[in-house]
Amino acid sequence: MLSTPLSIGSHKLVAEYISDGNYAGSKSAEFTQVISVPTSAIALVTSNSASKLGETVTLTVNVTANGNIATGTVQIYDGASPVGGVLTLSSGSASFVTSSLAVGSHSLTATYSGDANHASGSSTAITQTVKYPVNVSLTIDPVTLAFTDTTRITSTVTSTGGTPTGSIVIEEEVTGGDIVLGTCTLSSGTCTHALSTLSVGTHTIYLEYGGAGDFSGGASSKVVVTVTPRPVESTPAPVQKVEASTPPKVELTKNKEIATVVSSTTAGIVEFNATDSAGRTTAVGINVPAGAVSGTGTLTVKLVGSISDTSKGFVALEIKLISSGNTPATLTKPLELKISPQGTTAKPATSSDGVHWYAISKVTSGTLSSGALNGYFLDASRNINVLTLKTSVFDLLKPQNILSVKTFATHLQVGQSVTLESRGGTGNGALTFSTSTPAVCSVSSTGQLMGVAVGNCSVAVSKGSDSNYLNAESAPKIFAVRP
Please report the pLDDT score of residue 376 as a whole number.
76
Which backbone phi and psi does 28 adopt, to 5 degrees? -80, 170
DSSP string, 48-76: -SEEETT--EEEEEEEEETTEEP-SEEEE
Residue 84 lies inside a defined structural domain of this protein: no
How many degrees, rounded to 5, is the angle at CA 240 between CA 239 and CA 245?
135
Could you give the 3-state DSSP secondary structure of residue 105?
strand
Residue 165 lies inside a defined structural domain of this protein: yes
Residue 277: which CATH number?
A: 2.60.220
Whether 375 and 257 map to the same domain: the answer is: yes
pLDDT in tens, 168-177: 999 998 887 7
The residue type found at 13 is L
The residue type found at 129 is T
Question: Are 183 and 209 a contacting pair, CB within 8 Å?
Answer: no
Whether 441 and 372 map to the same domain: the answer is: no
Residue 79 lies inside a defined structural domain of this protein: no
Whether 250 and 372 map to the same domain: the answer is: yes
Higher pLDDT, 373 or 474: 474
Whether 268 and 330 map to the same domain: the answer is: yes
Question: Are 17 and 27 a contacting pair, CB within 8 Å?
Answer: yes
Of 353, 376, 396, which residue sits at a domain end? 396
Average pLDDT over residues 312-322: 67
Residue 222: which CATH number?
A: 2.60.40.730
Average pLDDT over residues 459-467: 84
Higher pLDDT, 220 or 291: 220
- pLDDT above 50 for 251: yes
Split at pLDDT 50, 70, 90, the class of 123 is very high
Whether 367 and 314 map to the same domain: the answer is: yes
Please report the pLDDT score of residue 389 as a whole number.
76
Higher pLDDT, 151 or 233: 151
Higher pLDDT, 198 or 135: 135
Please report the pLDDT score of residue 357 as a whole number.
35
Higher pLDDT, 198 or 46: 46
- pLDDT above 80 for 21: no
Average pLDDT over residues 397-418: 82
Q: Is cis: bond before 238, omega within 30 of 0? A: yes
Whether 287 and 374 map to the same domain: the answer is: yes
Average pLDDT over residues 234-252: 44
Residue 180 lies inside a defined structural domain of this protein: yes
Higher pLDDT, 321 or 202: 202
Residue 440: which CATH number?
A: 2.60.40.1080
Number of domain units in the chain: 3
Residue 128 lies inside a defined structural domain of this protein: no
Please report the pLDDT score of residue 311 as a whole number.
45
Could you give the 3-state DSSP secondary structure of residue 96?
strand
Please report the pLDDT score of residue 304 as a whole number.
67
Q: How far is residue 140 from each of residues 151, 156, 426, measured CA to CA in Å?
A: 7, 12, 38
Question: Are 405 and 418 a contacting pair, CB within 8 Å?
Answer: no
Whether 340 and 453 map to the same domain: the answer is: no
Question: Are 409 and 433 a contacting pair, CB within 8 Å?
Answer: no
Q: Give the whole-angstrom CA distance, residue 474 versus residue 454.
A: 24
Whether 248 and 285 map to the same domain: the answer is: yes
**Domain range spanning residue 280?**
240-396
Residue 144 lies inside a defined structural domain of this protein: yes
How far out from the chain centre does Cα 212 lie? 12
Could you give the 3-state DSSP secondary structure of residue 406?
strand
Please report the pLDDT score of residue 41 as a whole number.
85
DSSP bridge partners of 95: 60
The residue type found at 134 is V
Whether 392 and 408 map to the same domain: the answer is: no
Q: How far is residue 223 from each of residues 138, 145, 158, 206, 209, measured CA to CA in Å?
A: 8, 14, 19, 6, 16
Of 201, 228, 255, which residue sits at a domain end? 228
Whether 356 and 445 map to the same domain: the answer is: no
Residue 342 lies inside a defined structural domain of this protein: yes
- With a pLDDT cut of 90, the percent of the chain lying above it is 37
pTM above 0.85, yes or no: no
Q: Is 382 left (phi over 0), alpha (psi -120 to 50) or beta?
A: left
Residues present in the chain in total: 483
DSSP bridge partners of 300: 259, 320
Average pLDDT over residues 249-253: 62
Please report the pLDDT score of residue 122 as a whole number.
92
Please report the pLDDT score of residue 247 as a whole number.
41
Please report the pLDDT score of residue 393 as a whole number.
66
pLDDT in tens, 265-297: 777 777 777 766 556 667 778 888 888 888 788
pLDDT in tens, 30-53: 777 766 566 678 999 999 999 999
Residue 365 lies inside a defined structural domain of this protein: yes
pLDDT in tens, 222-239: 999 998 876 544 433 333
Of 378, 396, 414, which residue sits at a domain end? 396
Whether 245 and 366 map to the same domain: the answer is: yes
Whether 288 and 361 map to the same domain: the answer is: yes
pLDDT in tens, 440-455: 999 999 999 999 999 9
